[in-house]
Amino acid sequence: MSADVIVVGVGADGWSGLAAAAQAELSRARIVYGSTRQLRLLPGEVRADRVVWRSPMSAHLAELADGIAAHSIDPNSNNPNSNNPNSNNPNSNSPDSNSPDSTAAAAPIHVLASGDPMFHGVGASLVRAFGAERVRVIPHPSSASLAAARLGWDLARTRVVSLVTAPVETLLGHLTGGARTLVLSRDAATPADVADLLTAAGFGASSMTVLSDLGARTERVDSGHAATWTGTPSPLNIVAVDCVGPAHSRAPGLDDDEFTNDGQLTKRPIRALTVSALRPADGQTFWDIGAGAGSICIEWLRLAQTGRAVAFEADPARTSHIVENARRHGVADRLELRGAAPDALTDAPRPDTVFVGGGLSADLLERAWAALPTGGRIVANAVTLQTERLISDAADRWGGDLMRVSVERAAPLGRSTAWRPALPIVQWTAVRTDDEGMR
């Protein structure tokens, strides 16, 4: 199989741990991209120019993709267009070589990745940048596979959470008593950050095992508990957490006091009903228009764990509440914040599902409906007579279901107890079944 980009997974054991096919690929390489640490794992007999990824890596990848798209690929090329100071020396193996990406256009280029490139690795980014048909991947066992083998854990029943680029609060969305979680660390400080977060969240009794330099001669295992953690791992580590603490359900309808708010909050019974109507699904994009405290989009993200959400909110104070609440529930890395709708809808990532909870107007509903693809879903809640009329008109025009919901709570009345009704809501739910929503 020919390819423009060949990705080779490598472990901490370096060259000696590679299969023959991986060694052969790297031995014939002319240009190898990787981190400084990865490039230093290559022996001297690999005669390729070595290029260290620049930061941010995403921008460097984009330049590389543009360079390959602009040049024909000729494996036998002598690369006459290269401005690389090492291009006249094909035997250069300096890990500090930082050749322009026009050099890469004389590919195939080779890329080093840690472990399995398609498991929380650079392989997935390269496929997005170049297309699967132009990328060939030679995997190596991932750090998660190696850790599960050392610990005797069933990897199929173990959660894996990457904190390589995500904030440590992301772990909060995965904690529940009895769960086993492998945490991919950013650096040597990550285990201590994880221990502090576990302790603050009521999981201080959880056992922690930190496995450093898996597969290398310097491999080390440190064990302890979150509340008393004092380990000093290497920068290349993975954290195994055996959770001891409260059970956390993913069912919609978190208690109201789990969200910082100024009163602009969809209350628990209506929120559970609304999230259920939205039918969260992995891989989808969700719009929460008039997000308030962000409770709807946060609960949606807790259920759609590979989904992404965009929250539209005009009030800066409420926007800060959304940020705080998203961090508290471990979904901040998948939530984008925008200003007031409908203006902020322009150029937003196209939604699969839309919820309108605030700022209802005929123009807003029109634009939200137009943004949906065929099969897209919209849910809108109305409290006032004016907004009820708006969604009733929308139902007449586009179809769907209308439902009126009233909730009563028992509350003190003098020395007795009586039912206290909340304001009823009218909910409209519709699915687009024609092609008018396709752009």
* 3-class DSSP state of 19: coil
Average pLDDT estimate for 166-170: 95
Q: Cα(144)–Cα(153) distance, rounded to whole angstroms?
A: 10
Q: Which spans in 99-204 are helix H?
A: 101-104, 122-130, 143-151, 190-200
Detail the DSSP E strand segments found in 313-393: 335-338, 353-356, 377-382
> Per CATH, which fold does 144-242 belong to?
3.30.950
Average pLDDT estimate for 234-252: 96
Question: What does pTM read for this prediction?
Answer: 0.84
Identify the CA nearest to 296 among candidates 315, 277, 282, 283. Answer: 277
Q: For position 129, what pLDDT does the model report?
A: 86
Q: Cα(316)–Cα(303) distance, rounded to whole angstroms?
A: 27
| Beta strands 135-138 and 207-212, pairing class | unpaired
Average pLDDT estimate for 112-118: 94
Helices and strands of the chain, counted as H and E runs? 12, 19
- CATH classification of 5-141 is 3.10.129.10, yes or no? no
200-211 tens-digit pLDDT? 999 999 999 999
**Alpha-carbon distances, residue 268 vs 230, 275, 305, 310 (angstroms):** 40, 10, 21, 21
Average pLDDT estimate for 372-386: 96
102 pLDDT higher than 60? no
DSSP state, residue 265: -
Stated length of the chain: 439
CB atoms within 10 A of CB 385: 8
Q: For position 82, what pLDDT does the model report?
A: 38
171-213 tens-digit pLDDT? 999 999 999 999 999 999 999 999 999 999 999 999 999 999 9
Say which CATH class 256-431 falls into. Answer: alpha beta
Partners of 109 in beta bridges: 5
Q: For position 96, what pLDDT does the model report?
A: 43
- In sequence order, the 6+-apart residues with CB closer than 8 A to the CB of 74 are 106
CB atoms within 10 A of CB 66: 14
232 pLDDT higher than 80? yes
1 pLDDT higher than 60? no
* 3-class DSSP state of 299: helix
DSSP state, residue 350: P
Q: For position 107, what pLDDT does the model report?
A: 60
Question: 5-141 with 256-431: one CATH topology?
Answer: no
> Domain residues of the chain, as ranges?
5-141, 144-242, 256-431
Q: For position 130, what pLDDT does the model report?
A: 86
Q: Cα(213)–Cα(24) distance, rounded to whole angstroms?
A: 24
Identify the CA nearest to 226 among candidates 273, 268, 175, 269. Answer: 175
Partners of 421 in beta bridges: 408
Partners of 137 in beta bridges: 7
75 pLDDT higher than 80? no
Q: Cα(188)–Cα(233) distance, rounded to whole angstroms?
A: 6
Q: For position 68, what pLDDT does the model report?
A: 72
Q: For position 439, what pLDDT does the model report?
A: 39
Degrees, nearest 5: CA angle 6-12-18? 50
Partners of 403 in beta bridges: 427
Q: Cα(275)–Cα(295) distance, rounded to whole angstroms?
A: 10
